[in-house]
Structure 1
Amino acid sequence: MSKKLIAMDNELIRSSYVLDVSELKLIYTALSKLDSSKQIEPRTAIYITKNDYVQLGTNPKNIVREVRYACEKLMKRTLVINTEIGDLYTHWMHHVWLLKSDDLTDLMNNYEDAKKLLRPNIAHQKMVLDILKELKTCDENLVARIEFHDDILPFLSALQSHFTQLRLDDLKNLSTFYSHRFYHLMMQFNSTGVCKLSLMELRKILLLEDKYSQTKDLRKWVIEPAIKEIREKTSFFIEHKLIKTGQRYTYLELKFKQKKTIEIKKAKAISSDAIELSEAQISKYSSILSRINDMSDLSTFPTYDAFALWIANILRDPKSVRDETAKRIFKALRTHTDFKK
């Protein structure tokens, strides 16, 4: 699984369903093996390997059990896609084949005579032979063969517009269903960094029904934990705001930015204030700054000399402290000393 991005139509992003994280991983793995820009034919087989799951952060010892659980659950799951002509009720998968490694090994060792080894009346005989062909070209251990439901394929293939890209490197770090869904929803608006939706729609998307009917409970158990995990474990900084209509909260607004973008902006802000000084200047002005009253609140040091050493390190490397602190030091250098740039 070498792809870093997967894609879904926006209608699928905003569809209504509930899945476990293990089921989501199975879907992500399958999508990583498809070219979403091209038409995907019905009954297209997708082969899942152990290595695919390792790359999504699964413990190698738990892979077979997790894939089996995900496959069994996902076959029974339904979802509701709100289309322009009404709600489509359907399934994620058309077909799932959990592969038994011992049986595959026996057949693989006798691949040329596989047709003879298979019982004449075995169902899906062609499918078994296709699996063996795949196994011959695959260096990893196959664990499953899946097919997306025909109803789902239009929302996964030939995507030219109105689709959302999701980053696997972010998704693999998220541990709850709500975190994954919030990430999906915000990434639909990645170009603007602002996602706004009604609480009614949010409840529908998450299939909450009467659960967490009070906004305070929705915020405590759904919104805030998801936002916290996305902020801590993905490449995005995110904040949220609940918006009132009259006396009631009716909308949720998410604002987010890539962390690298934020860090670059901070670095630029610091560098615009920072000044390159010689060691002689650093020694001179750190001593002066350590004795300025306006700087005394920054000191937790027992002597002026110790405080001066701390300031000297900041003058050498402004990024060693918070940007607000660095800005104060360099501002004081300009306004409280005889230094001239």
Structure 2
Amino acid sequence: MSFAMNDELELYTPKIAQHNNLIRSYMHLGGLEARIFTLLLKGVKKDDTELKKVEIKVSDIIGDNPSGKAYQLLKDACDELMSKRLDLLQVGISKKAANKNDYHKVGIVQELQLDSGSGFVRGLFTDRVQSYLIQLKKDYALADIEHLMSLKSGYSHRIYWLMKSYQSLGEVKISVEEFKKMVCGDKDELGNQIDKYPRYYDFKKYVILPAFEDIREMLNVHWVENKKGKKTESLTFKFPQEGKISKITKPVQGSLFDKSNAKPKYKKSEAPKQNLRATSKLKLVELMEIHKENYEASIEARLNDGWYWNDDQTILYKD
């Protein structure tokens, strides 16, 4: 799902979204697969009622004037993405609530077409993932397109999305095996069990450390190893929050700029300055500068604390 926080203000970074159950599924993506996946998501609009074919410039994936080798790598990436099959939890069901014997295997992409003559890749998600991508109301996360397109590897892409899906919780503990499956996948296209990094040392060295170095400037997250003896059994991810944000315990999901979140306390005909009860005000652009990566959570915290929008949702007021 694509989001522009306010179409009239170019300062707002466009967003894309996925349902948390899709984000936290067991899926590995290579670097080019991750770029294609991101650009397919960019073509899905938040108000769409059904999935549509998305057109992507080849140059956005492999750069201008690509070589024959680059085209072959792109074809291979398309093949890999087409082969993805996920054991996907249905919308509205959490992993804790799910029966371990349940099974819901779905493909992600229905169609991919590479037209080297026109310089486009045309793709279509399967209708089975539609409820995870459009008309999302809760339990989904937003990510910055520019951030995703600058990441160096598919592992970075997966970890970035996972951190985004847990960010509003403040802190989350995940077993090493579960985290490995979410980042690297657990089965190949034939259904065979895979474990590319059986040793935690290798998983940390080749996946975790490079990925967190890659996203270091994009997300404020710290992680610690939980050991039993010498063995690292789980990882705790902590997301430092500012001010009252840390008091939010429920996930902040969805666009905070949807009209349903507005809480105006004056009539439309009244100018904000005429509302004499408003003793504090804060412009949205100021919040974005103050809180940077966490400005959406900051807005949610203020709305929960009695702040409210002006009519065009660019300024927050507090009585």
| TM bracket, shorter-chain basis | 0.5 to 0.7
Residues 218 and 74 (structure 1 numbering): CA distance in 2 closer, same or farther, change over 3 Å? closer
Q: Percent identity?
A: 26
Q: 2:171 aligns with which of 194, 213, 216?
A: 194
Q: Which residue of 1 aligns with 2:81?
A: 74
Q: 1:235 aligns with which of 202, 218, 221?
A: 218
Higher alpha-carbon deviation: 187-196 or 154-163:
187-196
Q: 1:48 aligns with which of 38, 56, 70?
A: 56
Tell me by how many angstroms 1:189 deviates: 2.3
Task: Decide whether the 8 Å contact of 1:236 with 1:258 is kept in 2.
Answer: no
- List aligned pairs for 1:149-228, cutoff 5 A: 149-205=126-182, 206-207=184-185, 209-228=194-213
Tell me by how many angstroms 1:25 deviates: 1.0
Task: Decide whether the 8 Å contact of 2:30 with 2:155 is kept in 1.
Answer: no
Task: Name the amino acid aligned to 1:239.
Answer: H
Tell me by how many angstroms 1:257 deviates: 5.3
Q: Which structure has the highest helix share of the two? A: 1
Task: Name the amino acid aligned to 2:23.
Answer: I
Residues 178 and 50 (structure 1 numbering): CA distance in 2 closer, same or farther, change over 3 Å? closer
Residues 166 and 228 (structure 1 numbering): CA distance in 2 closer, same or farther, change over 3 Å? same
Task: Decide whether the 8 Å contact of 2:33 with 2:154 is kept in 1.
Answer: no
Task: Decide whether the 8 Å contact of 1:38 with 1:159 is kept in 2.
Answer: no
Q: Which residue of 1 aligns with 2:19?
A: 9
Task: Name the amino acid aligned to 2:77.
Answer: A
How far apart, in 2, do the equivalents of 1:100 and 1:213 lie?
Answer: 39
Tell me by how many angstroms 1:264 deviates: 5.7
How far apart, in 2, do the equivalents of 1:216 and 1:69 lie?
Answer: 29
Confirm or deny that 1:90 pairs with 2:106.
yes
How far apart, in 1, do the equivalents of 2:43 and 2:235 lie?
Answer: 34
Task: Decide whether the 8 Å contact of 1:9 with 1:155 is kept in 2.
Answer: yes
How far apart, in 2, do the equivalents of 1:2 and 1:70 lie?
Answer: 26
Q: Which residue of 2 aligns with 1:299?
A: none
CA RMSD between the two structures: 3.2
Residues 73 and 247 (structure 1 numbering): CA distance in 2 closer, same or farther, change over 3 Å? closer
Deviations 1:146-186 (A, max 9, x none): 11112121211111100011111211221122211111111
How far apart, in 2, do the equivalents of 1:257 and 1:21 lie?
Answer: 29
Helix, strand or coil: the match of 1:189?
helix
Task: Name the amino acid aligned to 2:53.
Answer: A
Task: Specify the structure having the higher radius of gyration (Cα).
Answer: 1
TM value normalised by structure 2? 0.59
How far apart, in 2, do the equivalents of 1:174 and 1:203 lie?
Answer: 19
Higher alpha-carbon deviation: 75-84 or 251-260:
251-260
How far apart, in 1, do the equivalents of 2:241 and 2:64 lie?
Answer: 31
Q: Which residue of 2 aligns with 1:59?
A: 63
Tell me by how many angstroms 1:213 deviates: 2.6
How far apart, in 1, do the equivalents of 2:30 and 2:195 lie?
Answer: 20
Task: Name the amino acid aligned to 1:70.
Answer: A
Task: Decide whether the 8 Å contact of 2:29 with 2:158 is kept in 1.
Answer: no
Deviations 1:63-84 (A, max 9, x none): 9725444323322232332344
Task: Decide whether the 8 Å contact of 1:215 with 1:249 is kept in 2.
Answer: yes
How far apart, in 1, do the equivalents of 2:229 and 2:215 lie?
Answer: 30
Helix, strand or coil: the match of 1:151?
helix
Deviations 1:42-82 (A, max 9, x none): xx22122246x16xxx4212397254443233222323323
Confirm or deny that 1:145 pairs with 2:149.
no
Q: Which residue of 2 aligns with 1:113?
A: none
Runs of 5+ consecutive residues of structure 2 not aligned to the other structure: 5-13, 187-193, 243-285, 292-319
Task: Decide whether the 8 Å contact of 2:3 with 2:15 is kept in 1.
Answer: no
Task: Decide whether the 8 Å contact of 2:29 with 2:155 is kept in 1.
Answer: no
How far apart, in 2, do the equivalents of 1:211 and 1:255 lie?
Answer: 26
Task: Name the amino acid aligned to 1:207.
Answer: G
Q: Which residue of 2 aligns with 1:34?
A: 44
Residues 200 and 236 (structure 1 numbering): CA distance in 2 closer, same or farther, change over 3 Å? same
Task: Decide whether the 8 Å contact of 1:30 with 1:46 is kept in 2.
Answer: yes
Task: Decide whether the 8 Å contact of 1:195 with 1:254 is kept in 2.
Answer: yes
- List aligned pairs for 1:242-281, cutoff 5 A: 242-245=225-228, 248-256=231-239
